[in-house]
Structure 1
Amino acid sequence: MTEPPEKPVLQKPPGYRDLSNPGQPVPLPPGRKPAIPPSFRPKKKSRSCWGACCFFFCILVLFLIVFFLVAGGLFYFWFDPKLPEFHLQSFKLPQLNVTVKPDGTYLNVEAVARVEVKNPNSKLEWYYDGTRFEISIGNDTVLGSKNLPKFSVGKKNTTSLKVVTSVKNQLVPDGIGTKLKSQISSKDLMVFVNVKTKAGLVAKGWNAGTMEVNVLCGNVKLKNLENGEMPKCTINLLEWINIH
């Protein structure tokens, strides 16, 4: 007797679950990995490289700051730098003529001023460049200005700077010329010398650069200078540090 043909085995569809065995896990069909948006993709290591560069740059800056602080401290400890000293040595008016004309009062004056510059340093020299003198008397009556060439003051040395200025036929307010002439006769005339320069230090041939210096000499009576007084000038550094 012929056996009946075997029935083909049916393949279970994906996601089929056998109800007779509920605890059996249902296998999931294989699928593709979910696509990740570009904004959520892991970034490259450029940010970490940038952070490392910033870190090393900060270290370098800190090192340079410490280096210059240490170098400056050693320089100060070894050379013991001191600021120069300025004194108004003398002031004379060889000529003072006041002329009253119908159109006003005119002044003819010649002034001679000497300023002493002292270097108190034993290991450093001071040098000066772009020095300009301006002389005035009384109530801000300017008697001219003059530029001086470069000069230097050696270690523990002193130099004297002489400046001659003059004004001719300078118009002044009525009464000022007569007042100045009266003050000269009584030696009560107030005199002023303003020195603007660029000063720098030299250590064993090495130039440390220059800085702006404004020196104010005066606010002293002419008779005090003629009696031998040499008032100390005020040094103004960088337009805001005053040193007497």
Structure 2
Amino acid sequence: MADHQKIHPVVEVEAPPTRPLVAHGSYKPEKCEQVLYQPPFRRTFPVAHSNPPKKRSCCCKCMCWTISLLILLLIIIGITAAILYVVFKPKLPQYSIDSLRISNFKLNFDMSLYAKFDVKIIANNPNKKIGIYYEKGSQLSVWYSSTKLCHGSLPKFYQGHQNTTLINVALSGQTRAGSTLMAALQEQQQTGRIPLDLNVDVPVSIKLGKLKLMKVRILGGCMLIVDSLSANNLISIKASTCKFRLKL
């Protein structure tokens, strides 16, 4: 018997359908077909940070440190001053006019007025632990109204603790328009009350124990009422008011 061979039909494997070439933008995908979207390529550039923010932060830190140091320094000074005040208990010196004598008061040929006063000032230091150095450069002057009659200065000396010193001061000066001033003084003298102002500006140094501090100034003056301005006579002081203060 002859062998029979079965011949199976050959099924051609169909190639995947090719997508028809269509014009750009006219293709519409099917429902089940997924379209992969790729965003356009963008080139990124590195961001370069500038230095100004660091400089500003450094400046802020420096300012903060400086302000903090100043505040700390002020606190230390305040504490030190408080301790010194408690330990030494400083008091302002007291001054008064003991006597006033006019050794010369005349009208010159050029109509200028020449005056020479001798003033005795009582200086009292009430402090128990503080000494006072009276330095050079002091200025004392006697005024009538707005006219300076004479001027001078205190001697340089040291005043110890709880000490009272009598200071002799010679004041002299020359004023223009003396005839007018002399006439006004003679008219005022008839009332028996002539107002005079003694202005004082004295540099001093304070001594705390063995420590000599920086210079300060004693400012102020005395308002005097005298009976006359006759030369070579002891002038009677009818009223005297003195006020002084310290200036750093």
Percentage of matched positions with identical amino acids: 21
Which ranges in structure 2 are unaligned for 5 or more consecutive residues?
1-28, 229-233
CA separation of 1:121/1:26 partners in 2, compared to 1, >3 Å: closer, same or farther?
same
Aligned to 1:67: 76
Aligned-partner Cα distance in 2 for 1:120–1:217 = 20
CA separation of 1:195/1:30 partners in 2, compared to 1, >3 Å: closer, same or farther?
same
Does residue 154 of the first structure (1) align with residue 160 of the second (2)? yes
- Matched residue SS, 1:113: strand
Aligned to 1:242: none
Aligned to 2:65: 56
Q: How far apart are residue 53 of structure 1 and its match?
A: 2.6
Alignment of 1:230-241 (within 5 A): 231-238=240-247
Residues 88 and 232 in structure 1, CA contact (< 8 A), matched pair in contact too: no
Does residue 80 of the first structure (1) align with residue 89 of the second (2)? yes
Q: Which amino acid in structure 2 is aligned with residue 116 of structure 1?
A: I
- Please identify the structure whose Cα radius of gyration is greater: 2
Q: How far apart are residue 186 of structure 1 and its match?
A: 7.7
Aligned to 1:195: 200
TM-score of the superposition, structure 2-length normalised? 0.67
Aligned to 2:121: 115
Aligned to 2:231: none
Does residue 125 of the first structure (1) align with residue 131 of the second (2)? yes
Q: Which amino acid in structure 2 is aligned with residue 176 of structure 1?
A: M
Question: What's the C-alpha RMSD, in Å, of the aligned pairs?
Answer: 4.2
TM-score of the superposition, structure 1-length normalised? 0.68
Aligned to 1:12: none
CA separation of 1:168/1:37 partners in 2, compared to 1, >3 Å: closer, same or farther?
closer
Aligned-partner Cα distance in 2 for 1:203–1:175 = 47
Aligned-partner Cα distance in 2 for 1:206–1:22 = 102
- Matched residue SS, 2:138: strand
Residues 191 and 222 in structure 1, CA contact (< 8 A), matched pair in contact too: no
